[in-house]
A = this chain, B = another copy of it.
Amino acid sequence: MYSFASDYLEGAHPDVLKALTETNNRQSLGYGEDEYCAKATQMLKNIVENDNIDVHYLVGGTQTNMLVIAAALRSYQAVITVDSGHINVHETGAVEYTGHKILTRPHVKGKINSSMIADIMSEHRDEHAVQPKMVYISQTTEYGTYYTLKELKDIYTYCKDHDLYLFVDGARLGSALVKDDAPALKDLARYSDVFYIGGTKMGALFGECLVIVNNDLKKDFRYHMKQKGAMLAKGRMLGVQFLTLFSNRLYFRIGEHENKCADILRVGFKECGYNMYVETDTNQLFPILDKKTWAYVSKEYAATFMFNVDEEHICVRFVTSWATSEQTCHDFVRYLHQMS
């Protein structure tokens, strides 16, 4: 039995584990004030060609999302996203727990656009309703699509024209970063106010690297971290991991690898005649399977059930990761062919 259910089923990429082991016995300051975090941050500043960013290392995605939103907004301000946004459906109301309303519109292939944002803005004009102040998007999205550089610029321009912050959740950023028409890291540092580079789903044991670009969002951020239980005592472990991921293009190589694996699966599904719920070319696939096929597949492989499409068909999610081997993908395709 092999599982394509998610990209956090194994531990860490071997290089990350090696770095943790090699640095294990050295003493260093706690709470992210160590030399490893400092080095990783400097390396990232070089990559984005911008020294004027604040970088913080956090443990997980929900934690990072709630923290950024809570720190950026005043209590009566709201965040805009698509109905399928991770913060809207998969975080048990973490954002609302910090006091903020989430305003949504139905997603278009997992994405939002400036016209949808404008529509929400038109409904919120005075103190009898919440005040929209931030737009949250994910790169890649919950449906495996990604925003092109042009799309990101469009949204960012709208945000700047309407006094909104743009926050990019990069839990699966690596899979998009390696696309030609997607924003590079330095583009994210130019066309967003705050974004994060996901580690948990990209080869780290755990960890998200938060980049604050907008000066207005920088002040006292460590107070927010500590207060929300998000400041790791042995913060050096986050520094060591991201230092490794940023070195030798490891983060990008992982993105390339998982996309390559996904391509093998994608071709296989096509060859066998299965359609996709949404066409993607990142590490997430959403094939529509008839129930017989799903039963056959489930004998040897795990994937995530998404929803019923109709009486006979379901939408399923397959995800590849740094830990998926190309051979495993070929084996799966061969297995799929054997059914027909």
Q: Please, which residues of chain B bring their CB within 8 A of the CB of A66?
A: 229
* Cα–Cα distance between A89 and B123 once the two chains are bound (Å): 9
Question: Cβ of A220 and Cβ of B11 under 8 Å apart?
Answer: no
Chain A interface residue count, Cβ-Cβ cutoff 8 angstroms: 76
* Cβ–Cβ < 8 Å partners of A231 in chain B: 60, 62, 127
- In the complex, residue of chain B having the shortest beta-carbon distance to the beta carbon of A28: B9
Which residues of B have CB within 8 Å of A78? 93
Residue A259, interface by CB 8 Å: no
Known: A229-B66, A229-B228. A220 touches B8 (CB 8 A): no
Residues of A1-48 at the interface with B, using a CB-CB cut-off of 8 Å, are: 2-3, 6, 8-12, 14, 17, 20-21, 23-31
Shortest CB distance A73–B (Å): 10
By a CB distance below 8 angstroms, the chain B residues around A323 are 25, 27
Determine if B127 and A205 form an interchain contact, defined as CB atoms under 8 angstroms apart: no
Interface residue? A70 (CB, 8 A): yes
Determine which of B20, B98, B232 lies in contact with A59 in the assembled complex, contact meaning CB atoms within 8 Å.
Answer: B232
Q: Which of B129, B130, B229, B237 contacts A205 (CB 8 A)?
A: B237
Judge whether A75 and B3 touch: CB under 8 Å: no
Least Cβ–Cβ distance between A18 and chain B, in angstroms: 9
List CB contacts (< 8 Å) of A88-106 with chain B: 89-94, 96-102
Interface contact B101-A93, CB-CB below 8 Å:
yes
Pair B25/A234 contact, Cβ less than 8 Å: no
User: A8's closest neighbor in chain B, by CB?
Assistant: B233
Q: A11-B24, A229-B229, A229-B230 are in contact. Are A223 and B60 (CB under 8 A)?
A: no
Determine if A26 and B10 form an interchain contact, defined as CB atoms under 8 angstroms apart. Answer: yes
Decide if A330 is an interface residue (CB 8 Å cutoff).
no
Q: A224 in the interface, Cβ–Cβ < 8 Å? A: yes
Give every chain B residue within 8 A of A10 (Cβ-Cβ): 24-27
Cross-chain contact B131 with A228 (CB below 8 angstroms) = no
Q: Tell me the minimal C-beta distance from A20 to chain B in angstroms.
A: 7
What are 15 A-B residue pairs whose CB atoms fall within 8 Å in the complex?
Answer: A9-B27, A9-B30, A11-B20, A21-B21, A62-B229, A62-B231, A70-B75, A76-B92, A76-B93, A78-B93, A92-B130, A127-B231, A128-B226, A131-B223, A206-B232
Closest Cβ neighbor of A74 among chain B residues: B220
Among A28, A31, A228: residue with most chain B CB under 10 A: A228
Q: A327 at the A/B interface (Cβ < 8 Å)? A: no
A222 at the B interface (CB under 8 A):
yes
Which of A98, A128, A237 has the largest count of B CB atoms less than 10 A from its CB? A128
